[in-house]
Amino acid sequence: MSDERVSCRACGSGGLITVLSLGATPLANALLTREQLDHPEPRYPLVLAFCQTCTLVQITETVPPETLFREYVYFSSVSEALVRHAEENVRNLISSRNLGRGSMVIEVASNDGYLLQHYRRAGIPVLGIEPAMNIARAAEEKGIRTLCEFFGAELARQLAAQGYRADVIHANNVLAHVADLNGVVDGITLLLKDDGVAVIEVPYVKDLIDGVEFDTIYHEHLCYFSFTALERLFRRHRLAIVDVQRLSIHGGSLRIFATRSDAVSCPGDNARTTRQLLAEEADWGVDNPVFYSAFGASVERLRHQLLTLLRGLKAEGKRIAAYGASAKGSTLLNYCGIGRETLEFVVDRSKVKQGRFTPGTHLHIEATERLVELMPDYVLLLTWNFVQEILTQQAEYLQRGGRFITPLPDPQITEWAG
């Protein structure tokens, strides 16, 4: 079962404007066992909409969190680039906030401890909150204390009553995933110390649209944020955004720093940067439906270009595989109608995924070593957001004449440059 929304997830306003429909798709991370291949797969509408009141871009369908997240196949530590990204962030915060053994760092949706492990190694107390049972166990095995719970205002009240108040709260790529958006932001307010800071990363909707990153849209991602939407949301929950950074990770993200608006001081305040980004968004039309409606035409044009390329290669007798049994890959393959008629298999570094099959398209997931063993002529790169890391890892495949196809924002072929 799922619920279709007719009002905004953030401000509650009605009259959402449809931006793009990707049809009914299976859940992006619902990888299949061989025994499940003959069973019907649940499919849910995937419709992107825009709120004119607060500018939040969002999908209209809500699949229950218990269905999506209690058992999860995405382990953050699989990506070396993501672990390095987290380590750099932690190192800067330890220095700028003077964190030590008397501090407390909490991460919402802490996954397998990929970020908190860097604090722990520095001797700083940490607490992870992660709803996926299998992933929470993996974090505990690393020595990261982890509560296997969904985060919200009620859990925050319980933790605060037990003395858990945070100097730093991390929430990386989680705001987009939560059905109770206001409850999570309220919980952050409740758990922050008076002089604490929340450091939050979200994919940036402007980069999504400019890069035609429609594959970022799937049922786990309920919201797609502009800075304007974040600022309005946080202000309603007594949080002031005191600094913002634009990041290249995940195809373009924002990192915001928020403090309680009733705090005596706001260390690291960079009001000029926040005002500048708000002004930039006003200039490109953050509150104008026309800006978002053009996205749908761009997506359809990209679909046509990619299918034309792949069909041409198949007509030439070329063998094609894919890299990355990712959520974004599921959206791309299912929307474009690319399956076993085009791709022979898909590879992934995650051992949790290997041996299973992709949702909807039923491609067998194999180890990355199979690229060199089987040498398909081309590999469709579904995890394009880590393109440089993957090209480096797959240097032998490229040296032996293999080619990668990066699908977004326009299909591009990469071969060995020598």
pLDDT, tens digit, 9 for 90 and up, residues 222-280: 999 999 999 999 999 999 999 999 998 888 899 999 999 876 444 445 677 899 999 99
| Cβ contact 28:327 at 8 Å | yes
The reported pTM is: 0.89
Mark residue 70 as left, alpha or beta (left: phi above 0; alpha: psi -120 to 50; beta: remaining). alpha
Domain boundary at 227, 256, 284, which? Answer: 284
Residue 313 has pLDDT above 70, yes or no: yes
* pLDDT value, residue 369: 97
Q: Which amino acid is at 17?
A: I
What percent of the chain lies above the pLDDT cut of 90?
82
Q: Band of the pLDDT at 72, cuts 50, 70, 90?
A: low
The answer, yes or no, to whether residue 68 has pLDDT greater than 90, is no
Residue pair 347/326 in contact by the 8 Å Cβ criterion: no
Is residue 302 domain-shared with residue 250, that is, in the same domain? no
Predicted confidence at residue 82, as pLDDT, reads 84
Rounded Cα distance between 383 and 249, Å, is: 12
Q: Of the candidates 377, 363, 376, 324, which has an alpha carbon nearest to the alpha carbon of residue 347?
A: 324
The arithmetic mean of pLDDT across residues 337-359, rounded, is: 96
Listed in sequence order, the residues at least 6 apart from 171 whose beta carbon sits closer than 8 Å to its beta carbon are 107, 108, 109, 184, 188, 198, 199, 200, 201
- Give the pLDDT band (50/70/90) at residue 78: confident
pLDDT digits (tens, 9 = 90+) for 210-224: 999 999 999 989 999
What is the DSSP-derived secondary structure letter of residue 16?
A: P
Q: Which CATH number fits the domain that encloses residue 335?
A: 3.40.50.720
Domain assignment present for residue 22? The answer is no
Number of separate domains in the chain: 2
CA distances from residue 147 to 38, 102, 260 in whole angstroms, order as listed: 36, 21, 24
Going through 219-303 in order, the beta strands assigned E by DSSP cover: 223-224, 239-247, 253-260
Tokens representing 150? 């969904």
The dihedral over CA atoms of 169, 175, 179, 181, expressed in degrees to the nearest 10, equals 70
Looking at the structure, tell me whether residues 245 and 373 fall in a common domain.
Answer: no
pLDDT of residue 74: 63
Record the tokens describing residue 213, joined without a space. 């990153």
pLDDT-wise least confident of 102-106, 355-359, 371-375, 387-391: 387-391
Give the C-alpha separation, 334 to 293, whole Å. Answer: 22
Residue 326: domain span: 290-414
263 and 378 in a single domain? The answer is no
Residues 354 and 225 in one domain: no
End-of-domain residue from the set 230, 252, 284: 284
Helices then strands, each counted (H, E), the chain: 14, 19
Give the separation between CA 3 and CA 8, rounded to whole angstroms.
13
pLDDT (0 to 100) of residue 267: 45
Residue 70 has pLDDT above 90, yes or no: no
Q: Are residues 227 and 96 in the same domain?
A: yes
Residue 311 belongs to a domain:
yes
Predicted pLDDT at 418 = 64
In this prediction, residues 46-59 reach a mean pLDDT of 96
Mark whether 225 and 312 lie in a shared domain: no
Determine the average pLDDT of the residues in 23-46.
94
Q: Could you report the per-residue pLDDT of 96-144, keeping only the tens digit for each?
A: 999 999 999 999 999 999 999 999 999 999 999 999 889 999 999 999 9
Please check the confidence at residue 199 and state whether its pLDDT lies above 60. yes
Mean pLDDT, to the nearest integer, of 364-372? Answer: 97
| 66 confidence band (pLDDT: 50, 70, 90) | confident
Residue 241 and residue 255: Cα distance in Å, rounded? 10
d(CA 217, CA 36): 25
Residues 361 and 247 in one domain: no
pLDDT at residue 147 tops 80 = yes
| Residue 207 and residue 108 share a domain | yes
Q: Are residues 126 and 246 in the same domain?
A: yes
Average pLDDT of every residue of the chain: 92
**Alpha helices (runs of H) in 211-288, residue ranges in sequence order:** 227-236, 271-284
**How far is it, in rounded angstroms, from Cα 64 to Cα 77?**
26
Whether residue 266 sits in one domain with residue 299:
no
Picking from 366, 368, 375, the residue whose alpha carbon sits closest to that of residue 397 is 375
Q: Is 390 exposed, middle or buried (0-12, 13-18, 19+ CB in 10 A)?
A: buried
Asked if residue 211 and residue 310 are part of one domain, the reply reads: no
Q: Are 185 and 239 in contact (CB under 8 A)?
A: yes
Q: Is the pLDDT of residue 192 over 80?
A: yes
The residue among 258, 284, 310 that closes a domain is 284
Q: What is the pLDDT of residue 194?
A: 93
pLDDT score recorded for residue 93:
96
